[in-house]
Amino acid sequence: MNADQGLFVPLILGILEGLTEFLPVSSTGHLLLAGHFFGLRQPDTFIVLIQLGAILAVVTVYFAKLGMLIRDALAGKPYAWRFAVSVILAGLPAVITGVLLRDFIQGALWESPMTICVTLLLGGIILLFIDRMPKRVVHDDAFAFPWHLALIIGLFQMLSLVPGVSRSGSTVVGAMLFGASKRAAAEFTFFIALPIMVGAFGYDLYKSRDLIDTSIALQVAVGFAAAFVVGALVVRYLLDFVSRHGFAPFAWWRILVGGGGLIALLVFGV
């Protein structure tokens, strides 16, 4: 980590992380492209560690709901256990694949801005198509998704291991293709993010424990705080925005960023 950058770069990247983590635009893709095109670089470990701020943003906004779910699960209420199992099923495929392919993903894929731009562009086109496609809503309650739908969403989430695809984007597309409403699809992705991101944070923290010193810890803390504040605002207002406008604005943003990045790479050789 370059000490000459001070705290400005961690602050900007933390804001970017909080802003994009729960939007279907790929937070990792945006962070990596910010490093490639604008020199806003931090070690790969930094990108994973500041995600804890976004995790706590979800916990803060949904604190009462999470507390009720835990209470009802301990009381043996079936709906709470079904929801817990659904979250686990939705997270397992990506967790297993992510652990097995971690070095390849953070090596070959994270070092390819071309791959990120292409996946942003294609993902935007797919998201725009799915958002506009006529479909019958079968599941309108994120807390009552059947187990088979949760597993299908988990399989879609595996695609997000490729930078630029987007974890929330892939899960939203999978959920909507199989009958979930836009709001329910977006809300479910908040909850399945918790075990995925906590696991990624803990695993990467362990793998990189020898690389973290006092100076790095300060920069991670700044990025973490920014991700937490901005992420909480996004989680608080995203569902209402999606209910009114759908996912088309995010699809167009992906197309703009991915297309612009490809032009910069192919035409200007940036």
Q: What integer pLDDT is reported at residue 52 of this predicted model?
A: 84
206 compared with 159, residue with greater pLDDT: 159
Angstrom CA distances, 123 to 38, 117, 127, 252, stand at: 23, 10, 6, 10
191 compared with 198, residue with greater pLDDT: 191
Residue 168: pLDDT band with limits 50, 70, 90: very high
Is 93 in contact with 154 (CB distance < 8 Å)? yes
Question: Is the sign of the CA dihedral 242, 248, 253, 255 positive or negative?
Answer: positive
88 compared with 44, residue with greater pLDDT: 88
Residue 214: pLDDT band with limits 50, 70, 90: low
Is 39 in contact with 249 (CB distance < 8 Å)? no
- Give the span between the Cα atoms of 130 and 177, in whole angstroms: 7
Question: 15-55: per-residue pLDDT in tens?
Answer: 999 999 999 999 999 999 999 999 987 776 787 778 889 88
Cα–Cα–Cα angle for 26, 27, 33, rounded to 5 degrees: 90
pLDDT at 2 over 90: no
pLDDT at 249 over 90: yes
Give percent of the chain with pLDDT exceeding 70.
Answer: 96
